[in-house]
Every structure is written in structure tokens, then in C-alpha cells.
Structure 1
Amino acid sequence: MTASGRILVVDDDAAIRTVVSEALRRKGHDVVTAASLGEMRGMLAKGLPDVLVTDVVLPDGDGLDMVPQILAEHPALPIIVLSARNTLSTAVRATEAGAFDYLPKPFDLDVLAQAVAGGLARARRVGATVAEAVDDTLPLIGRSPAMQGVYRVIARVVSNDLTVLVSGESGTGKELVARAIHDLGARRAAPFVALNMAAIPRELIEAELFGHERGAFTGAAARVAGKFEQAAGGTLFLDEIGDMPMDAQTRLLRVLQSGEFTTVGGSRTIRANVRIVAATNKDLAAQVTSGGFREDLFYRLNVVPIALPALRERRQDIALLARHFLDRAADDGLPHKRIDDSVVALLEAHSWPGNVRELENLMRRLAALSRDEWIGREEISAMLGRGVSGSPAPSAGIKAAVLARLAEIDSERAGALDDGTVYDRIIAEVERPLIVAMLERHGGNQLRAARAMGINRNTLRKRLDDLSIATSDARRPPRDVDPN
């Protein structure tokens, strides 16, 4: 049976005070209430409660501003913060202020009861308050319950160096989570270094991670520091960790166990002073079962798991995200565009297989190409490849693009569509960006790009020559802005 306690509930909404009080009394707690900071101070002066539950926005001030003052006088008092300002910034502010827990409104009464029980079960360990103020320009956007859970975990790990494993589909924002953990933590003044395992040839991964000495292998003309050294004092983000080859997994495990490593071809032991955040869009537990991933490494990485929801699982965030991306496009110099509720409904009905990245790309494309300030349903439908009715038509977007290009060719020269060259011309125009994009995706590795496209490497080489794709295009490094 959960131990009962004396709980002080502070909220200026009488209905919330009543509902919360009744729920906690049913759990056996003695509940007193206050409607303002002034009343709360009076209650605290009369006698210390076992747990304080307080709203942020109160008639006479900010409840979060009071948390450090209260803890300075009563460091063992667990304080649970409630807030309708349910952003990552609020969650982090609450944690940095020393709050025991943070719950976004609307909250589940059972979750609140569990938080109160946790506060009663153990004394709150007071942590140092981060002096630098946290602004609202944080990289993660969304107020859905699914994202609130993510914010709460991030807020709890920024003050320590625990290893974090971020999982989620491609495009959900895994690198943004890693950057938020770094930027809000004690290591934020040091480097944030990212390495995408899927974009590095398997034989070079160990050299990329740990560095190499001169002469360690053919082409190693000088000593090169690896990602562990480059990220010294900061955060090392290992993206697509599920694509890491087994021999490199073994070396990474040894580093995580010992905190030390040596360069490829070297003998000097180097101390690994980094925080590890890993990410995957695969089921690592299933890979462990199938023998594709080391079980001991999985447990070393999965100390704090963060599962990012797909965009279709947080549809209430779509309008906020879409408008945010339009605003950001305008900040980058594109025309400022707007969307109304009918367009939002169409966006919310889409399945978003590419998740947040797909939505961002769509908004930037619309900002660049839409003629009117207000984006219409027809434009959205055409770019999403769906009819206005919402019925699926996966190839509609490609069809519309081809028809538009045919119209351009026809306008350039009379009879151009009947001169026997249009097929080769359209295919080449589609094939070229496809090949360049796949080479970029695979870091210029022609073999991996060819395999991904399902063609022979020699065929790819021939198409590179036929389409006059420069060597620089073929060797372009992978993009690190991918929010995977």
C-alpha cells in the first residue's frame, strides 16, 4: 500500500484544485490547496507539506521561479510542476530548477498519483542549477502527449553523462534529440560530433571512430584523429548504430567498458572523454536475437532509451510543425507562406512515411513554388500525390511533375514532343538527380549506391559517364543534417 502524505496543491483554477485534491484524497493523502504564490508561501510558513504540486502560471508570479527559493530553504521537499506551457523548454526549466517531476497539462490523474508516491518514497536529491538561461529556440517542436514523454526523459538526462539510445523511424528527429541533450547539458561548450554508420565503408569505420597512425594502412599518409578524439569533452553521436559491423562493435564495447582506446596502428592508450548518444531506426533487440548485434553492447548503449514517435502518431503536432517550417523558410529568404485549417486537415490526413523530414521538405518546397501567400488544398494535394478527396494516388506527384516538364519542352520549341528524343530526355532528367542523391546518401561509395538501386556497379559507372556526372558529385560526403 502506498504511504500517505500531506500534499499541497497550488493552482489558480478551482476546478483543477478540486479534481486533483479528490484524486489524491482517494489515494489516502491529506490535501491542502492554494490559488496563488502568496497563499503557497503562507502554507509553507505554517508547516511543511510532504509533497508540493504547483502550476507554473499563477496570478502573482511564475511557479517555476519559486522552485529554487523553496528548495534553498527546504532542500528535501519534492516539488511536482504542472504546466500548460508544455514545451521542451518548460520541461528542462523544471528539471534545472530542481523540480522532482514535471507533468504537462492535461495530465493523467494516475500519473500524478504515481509521481506523488515517488516523491513520498524518496527524498529529492538536490542538483546544481544550470546558470545559463534556456531560451525557447530549441530544436524539437511538438506539444502532443507522445512528445511530452520525450521531453521529460531529455530533461532528466541533461544533468548527467548516461549513455542514451534514441530509436525511431527515419525522419523523426533522432539527431535533434542528441543535439538537444548536448546543447542543454554540461558538455555544451565542447564539440558535438556525429558519425553515420550507414554512410561509412565497413572497412573504414574503426579508423573513423578511433583515428589512425601514419602507415596504418594503404593511403594513411599522416596521423588522423578519430571521432572519439574530435569529440573530446563533448558528445559523440553514433547514428544508425544497427549498421555497425561486428568487429567494430567489439572495439566499441571495449571502449565503453574501459573508457580507453588506441588508434588503428597505434599503441598509446587514449582516454575516451565523451558522452555517447546512439540512434537507430532498426529493432536492435531483434538484431540481438538474430545475431546481428552484440547483446552486451546493446545493454551498454540502452542505458536510457528514448523512443521517438512517428509523425502519424502525433498528428496534433502537424499544424505547429508546418507553420514553424514555413516561418523558418521565410527566415532563410524564401517567400513567407501561410496555411489555413482546411490545409491543416489535409496534412493531418496524410500518412507521412518520411515523418518530420518529409513535412519540412514539403513546406520548403511550397514556400519556394507556391504563387500565393495562402497555400491551397490543390497545391498540397498535388505535392502529396493525393486527390483532394484524400484517396491515395502514390504516383500522382511524379505524374504531375512529368506533365509539367512536357509542357515546358513543348513551349521551348514547336514539335519538340514529336522529334523522337523526349523519352531519353525525360529519363535522363529523372535518372541524374536519382543517381547523385543515392551517391550522396552512401557517401560516394559506388558499390553501396548500386546495390541500393538494384543495379550492377558497372552499369552505374556507365551511367555516370553517359550522364556526365562529375567525380566530385560521385564522392560528395554524406549529409550530416539528416535528423535521423
Structure 2
Amino acid sequence: MPSGTILVADDDAAIRTVLNQALSRAGYTVRLTSNAATLWRWVSSGDGDLVITDVVMPDENIFDVLPRMKKLRPDLPVIVMSAQNTFMTAIRASEKGAYEYLPKPFDLKELIGIVGRALEEPKMVRKVEGEDLSEGMPLVGRSPAMQDIYRVLARLMQTDLTVMINGESGTGKELVARALHDYGKRRNGPFVAINMAAIPRDLIEAELFGHEKGAFTGAQNRSSGRFEQADGGTLFLDEIGDMPMEAQTRLLRVLQQGEYTTVGGRTPIKTDVRIVAATNKDLRNLINQGLFREDLYFRLNVVPIRLPPLRERVEDIGDLVRHFFTMAEKEGLPPKQLDQSALNQLRRYRWPGNVRELENLVRRLAALYPQDVISEGLLEQELNQPTVSPLEEDGSETINLSGSVERYLNGYFENYGDALPPPGLYHRILREVEYPLISAALAATRGNQIKAAELLGVNRNTLRKKIRDLEIQVMRSSR
């Protein structure tokens, strides 16, 4: 039968009652309080075997009390609850030394299970970080799916475990990788990202591991690779499923032995990097096809994280829209918001491009429309607006942008008199055009970058740079 005294602190009487009943039925002795001062008095007196507490209390924020608790009683497990279900809340709970973080509303069975594990585990002194974290929000969303991700990330911050992020294009895989780095123990080291799909296959090994002078045609000087550049920090291997077999073998050696050789080199080089990999492909399927090493998969897939597509977390769309509008406003654009009918319309949309598609839409709304409140009718135009007009008499195609820009400028002057729009209109429009244009060209050529560059009428190297800068996912050609 479980035993122990649980200290519960929450200013909500209903939550105190529910927790008292559930914990008492499970066999624990329960003491209840509605303020942080009483909780601190109990803890400082040596009472209780475990604490369950809300973050925002009437007299003090628990994150200000938690470091004192951990310093006085480092073996006391503290479970933190909060209705402020953000990524930063989960991270702060972990940084301040909490045993576990639970978003409200929580599952009582899950809570009882966590209490049991916390009391049964060997007593361990947990490091408490005194550093205050930035208010910046690298990840946005309060859905249950995102709460699960926040909790996993919080547990991983002070480890060097290899992480595999799986998710559709546009779900934010690099954001998760950056969060692991920026809020982890390697935050003072470099974060280096490489997209396997954006680099010619015959150059990937040189990009990763560097090369010696004369190693291959065109190698006129020694060049450092991404492993060398990321030493002491984090290396993000995006679209790992596009890595050729030869490079996979080299990468496996690094993961097994912690060292590598440059292309054309013979001397082993020690490396100290944390690996975070990502893919939008089914690596198991690639293994069955003989395109991906199974032993490398197990080395990379130590901690798997699945990012849900936006259609599986539509309850986050409101938070995301507000976040992207705020970002646009900081860039000098006028403040905007959606009316309820427009927000409902966004929640019904399927979002094939996921969060990236939503961000592009919001930026376009902020840049091209003078209205302060975006209506459902205006959104309807954007979500269904064709990109290309019918063929001209000479057979060429014309992109229908001039009408949109003209409507935007005319509407802006009607609302704001002779005042000019915020500077940077050219680059804002260019950004909105380039991503769908290049994506469409790559889709039409099935990922063949040579043919896509020819279709677009740009240099192949220019196209590669655009793909990298815009983080466009490239499907490999099957032709």
C-alpha cells in the first residue's frame, strides 16, 4: 500500500478537493493549502515527502520559491501544475528543479502514477539552474499534443541524448532542434544545421566532415566540415532520409567512436557534438528498401519525437496566428487580428503546408491588406486565389501579382491618407512569392533541381541557395 505525506498547494478550492480525494483513496496522507507561504513553512519544517503545487499562487510565484525548496531539501520531489500551458512553463519547471510538470487540466490516474514513481525512485540531488530564461517563445501551442512535446523537451534539456524528430514538412522540426540547443547545457556552443536534401549527394560527405586540399576536383584548399564547426554544440541533420549510403557509414562511425576523418584525410579527429536528426520520411520503409542503414537508425532514434501536423492540433491555430501577427508588427507592419468567423475558417482548412503555410498566410495578410480586422471573405480570397493567370496570346504565363499589390496600396492610402506603408514592401512581397514559386517548380519536376532551375530561368547554384534559405523540402526525382 502506498504511504507518504503529500503537500498540496493550489488557490483553487475545487482542485484541492479533487486532489485530496484522489490521493487519500490511493493511500497517502494529504495536507492542503491555498498559498505559497504555508507551503514554504511546511517544507522548511521538514514536513511532507512530496509536493504538488500550482505555479501562480496569490502571494508568490512558485518558481521563486522552488529554488529555495531544492536548496533546503534537494531530495524532495516537486510536481508543478499550471494552466499557463506554454513551452516556457515546462522549461522553467525543469530548470528550477521540478520533478515533473503537468498542464491543467490533468489526468488523475497519470498524476497518481507520477506520485508513485517519484516516491519510489532513489533520492537524487538535482542541479538547479539560477539563470533566468528568455520570455521568447520558440514553440507555440497549448494543445495536448504540444504539451506532450514540451514535457519531453524539458526532460531532454540537460542531456546529450541523440534525438530523432519526425514530422511532415512545415511542422517546425528545426524549431524543436533549436529549442533543445538554446535551452540545453550546450547553449553556449554553436548550433549548426545542414539539410541533406539541399546538397548534391556527391558533396554531402565533404560538407559534413570537411575535406583536404586536392581530395577531389575543385578542392583547392582544406575546408572544415559541419562536425568541426559544431564542436561543443549541436549539429542538426535535417532530412536525414536523403543521406547517401556512403555518408551514412561515416556518420555511424562518428556515433560509435566519437571521431571522424576528413575526405582525403587520414588522421582521426575527435568530435564533441550533440546530434539532432529530422525527417519527413518513413525511415523504416527506407530500411526495407535498402536505402537506409538499420544500425544507423537505432543510433539516431534514441529519443524519438513526433511533431503533429497542424490539422491534428487546430486548437493551436489562434495562438499561432496571434504569434505571427505579433512578429509581423515587430517588423514594422500594422497590427492585425482575425474575426471569429475567419478563425473558424482557418480551423476548417486542411493545411497541407502545416505551420509554415499558416505563417506565410499571416505575413501576407499583414503585408498586403490595410484592414485592421481580417474577415472570412478576405480569407476566402487568399485560400482560393489562383497563383497563375490563363495563357497569354504568345503562350507565356503571367503571375497575377500586380492586381493584389495595387489593391493593397490603394486601400492603404484610402485608410491612412498620404502616409506610405511600412518600408520593405518589395522584400515582403518577394518572400511571399519565392517560396510557393520554387516549391511548385520542384514539384513539377519531381525534385529535379537542374530542370527546376531551367524552368525558373535561374542559375542552379542560385536555386540551391534559395532552397536552403527558404527551408524548402525537396522530393527526390524518381525519373
Query: Does structure 2 retain, via aligned residues, the 8 Å contact 1:3–1:120?
Result: no
Cross-structure match for 1:62: 61
Q: Does 1:482 align with 2:471?
A: yes
Cross-structure match for 1:391: none
Q: Does 1:424 align with 2:396?
A: yes
- Mark the CA change 1:76 to 1:481 in structure 2 (over 3 Å): closer, same or farther: farther
Cross-structure match for 2:309: 310
Show the 5 A alignment for 1:361-400: 361-385=360-384, 397-398=385-386
Q: Does 1:345 align with 2:344?
A: yes
CA drift at 1:154: 1.0
User: Residues 31-84 of structure 1: CA distance to partner in whole angstroms, max 9, x if unpaired?
Assistant: 221111122123335543221111111111011221111111111111100011
> TM-score, normalising length from structure 2?
0.86
Q: 121-130 or 320-329, which moves further after superposition?
A: 121-130
Cross-structure match for 2:97: 98
- Mark the CA change 1:124 to 1:321 in structure 2 (over 3 Å): closer, same or farther: farther
**Separation (CA, whole Å) in 1 of partners of 2:110 and 2:472:** 31
Q: 472-481 or 325-334, which moves further after superposition?
A: 472-481
CA drift at 1:441: 6.7
Q: Does 1:160 align with 2:137?
A: no
**Separation (CA, whole Å) in 1 of partners of 2:17 and 2:472:** 43
Query: Does structure 2 retain, via aligned residues, the 8 Å contact 1:440–1:479?
Result: no
**Separation (CA, whole Å) in 1 of partners of 2:138 and 2:336:** 21
- Mark the CA change 1:441 to 1:253 in structure 2 (over 3 Å): closer, same or farther: farther
CA drift at 1:333: 2.2
Show the 5 A alignment for 1:33-72: 33-72=32-71
Cross-structure match for 2:389: 402
Amino acid at match of 2:218: G
Query: Does structure 2 retain, via aligned residues, the 8 Å contact 1:343–1:376?
Result: yes
Amino acid at match of 1:352: W
- Mark the CA change 1:39 to 1:296 in structure 2 (over 3 Å): closer, same or farther: same
CA drift at 1:125: 2.7
User: Residues 298-349 of structure 1: CA distance to partner in whole angstroms, max 9, x if unpaired?
Assistant: 1111111111111111111101101111121121122322212111111111
- Mark the CA change 1:104 to 1:463 in structure 2 (over 3 Å): closer, same or farther: closer
- Mark the CA change 1:483 to 1:56 in structure 2 (over 3 Å): closer, same or farther: farther
CA RMSD of aligned residues (A): 2.9
Query: Does structure 1 retain, via aligned residues, the 8 Å contact 2:44–2:69?
Result: no
**Separation (CA, whole Å) in 2 of partners of 1:139 and 1:435:** 25
> TM-score, normalising length from structure 1?
0.85
Cross-structure match for 1:390: none
Cross-structure match for 1:452: 446
User: Residues 87-115 of structure 1: CA distance to partner in whole angstroms, max 9, x if unpaired?
Assistant: 11111111111110000111111111111
**Separation (CA, whole Å) in 2 of partners of 1:73 and 1:180:** 30
How many residue pairs align between the two structures?
446
Unaligned residue ranges in structure 1 (runs of 5+): 386-396, 407-416
**3-state secondary structure, aligned to 1:317:** helix
Amino acid at match of 1:424: S
Query: Does structure 2 retain, via aligned residues, the 8 Å contact 1:436–1:473?
Result: no
**Separation (CA, whole Å) in 2 of partners of 1:332 and 1:427:** 26
CA drift at 1:477: 5.0
Q: Quick one: percent identity of the two aligned structures?
A: 52
Show the 5 A alignment for 1:206-221: 206-221=205-220
- Mark the CA change 1:349 to 1:141 in structure 2 (over 3 Å): closer, same or farther: same
Q: Does 1:276 align with 2:265?
A: no
User: Residues 400-436 of structure 1: CA distance to partner in whole angstroms, max 9, x if unpaired?
Assistant: x638xx9xxxxxxxxxx7xx33x4243899xxx9998
